[in-house]
Chains A and B, each alone.
Chain A
């Protein structure tokens, strides 16, 4: 496009048409002044993705709102670009903070899809990396390793889990710093090629940003994932079970609710991940209960999880034993 005079100056768009404006032929750069937002929105098919997120992810209201905002921003940026207006490609690097099991990786995967749908990344795949994938073991090992990961993530999203482990202030010869510098360079120079999402606990990420201000300023969107409350965790449990074709009856639902109440105050509680682990253990107990019971059972019994399967958990024993089960699922 060549003939776009003063697209940046406000007067070009806001001033009332002067008499002379009727004389000059209409500008070629703006063939239509009207853009059908609704149609553009439908064409981009973001709504489907947002609906999917709404359906599959329980709670996380601030996160969803933020994703909606970002999606709108990206759509508008696309429309501006199509209309020939000056657009800088928006900075898309993000930081997801929150306690374990709050859905950071899941949301990152969805984010990759949204960005792909809107054409901000070319492939829309997610490459998950941790310190081990980026930082080498000896001098000269880090740069190729980081480069390898970055190359793999090109055209998609690079998700760095527990990013604060990259920076080890206690060891000044740590190679993590080298990886950080390379990442910063990539985030600046290859903005068109990949989007970096850093994730981790809130407080530790804050100290990480404090000691690496370069990261903080290169990240446009800081999203904090709140903890789930008990009703949300129950919904998650039901969703998980429904997906695996198990179900709870009224009795066991109450048991699970009580289980969550106790489990949530214990150490190493990892939100949805703890729920998943608890359900896995309940399934284990259900299986051994059915086998030891023997006899003839119905298909209905195969899918039902009894209250007893949940109440056998060590969480229902009183401290200090209950701390052991808590320690055995430390959020992994």
Chain B
């Protein structure tokens, strides 16, 4: 199941040139970029791990692409996303966030029903990938 998170996620995966153009758009708006990765794609998992430091002071997208390449090499089977942070007063939030890599095989989610008191049913989504311990979920990272 192809997960859809962040901007552009209903489009086909972006090519490197398209990613670069989006990154340049962020930088032109003065949004510092950070690269984050995870192997826990649960939609409520908002805290992904950051790859390196947030990239302030970068003016050109090729610097970010260099770091993205390093991240892809390090985590070839993880989800990787790029976020641009708008630090301007009044906004101070993630302005753009999109996936730039996904694992080759995405097993998807299972719906769990929990019987509670008074015939209540509680639902939860369970990612099949998280049955394996972290780091071994989508093939081993290097």
Binding site for B on A (CB under 8 A): 122-123, 125, 147, 150-152, 154-156, 190, 192-193
CA separation between A193 and B64, bound complex, in Å?
A: 12
CA separation between A56 and B61, bound complex, in Å?
A: 33
Find residues 41-95 in chain B having any chain A CB closer than 8 Å to their own CB: 55, 57-64, 66-67
Residue numbers in B under 8 Å from A155 (CB-CB): 59-63
Given A151-B67, A154-B58, A193-B62: 14 more A-B contacts, CB < 8 Å: A122-B60, A147-B66, A150-B63, A151-B63, A152-B58, A152-B59, A152-B63, A154-B59, A154-B60, A154-B63, A154-B66, A192-B62, A193-B60, A193-B63
Residue numbers in B under 8 Å from A150 (CB-CB): 63
CA separation between A287 and B64, bound complex, in Å?
A: 51
Residue numbers in A under 8 Å from B67 (CB-CB): 151
23 A-B pairs within 8 Å (CB atoms) are namely A122-B60, A150-B63, A151-B55, A151-B63, A151-B64, A151-B66, A151-B67, A152-B58, A152-B59, A154-B58, A154-B59, A154-B60, A154-B62, A154-B63, A154-B66, A155-B59, A155-B61, A155-B63, A156-B59, A156-B60, A190-B62, A193-B60, A193-B63
Instruction: Find the A residue at minimum CB distance from B64.
Output: A151
B34 shortest CB reach to chain A, Å: 13
* Number of B residues, CB within 8 Å of A: 11
Residue numbers in B under 8 Å from A193 (CB-CB): 60, 62-63
Most buried by B among A125, A151, A192: A151
CA separation between A155 and B28, bound complex, in Å?
A: 13
Q: Would you call A123 and B62 a contact (CB within 8 A)?
A: no
CA separation between A193 and B60, bound complex, in Å?
A: 9
Instruction: Find the B residue at minimum CB distance from A124.
Output: B59
Find residues 113-131 in chain B having any chain A CB closer than 8 Å to their own CB: none
User: What 9 A-B pairs have minimum CB-CB distances, sorted nearest first?
Assistant: A155-B60, A151-B63, A154-B63, A154-B60, A193-B62, A123-B59, A154-B62, A152-B57, A123-B60
A20 shortest CB reach to chain B, Å: 42
CA separation between A193 and B57, bound complex, in Å?
A: 16
CA separation between A156 and B59, bound complex, in Å?
A: 8
- Select B59's contact among A125, A147, A190, A192, beta carbons within 8 Å: A125
CA separation between A21 and B58, bound complex, in Å?
A: 53
CA separation between A123 and B63, bound complex, in Å?
A: 12
Residue numbers in A under 8 Å from B66 (CB-CB): 147, 151, 154
A143 shortest CB reach to chain B, Å: 11
A242 shortest CB reach to chain B, Å: 33
Most buried by A among B57, B58, B63, B66: B63
Residue numbers in A under 8 Å from B61 (CB-CB): 155
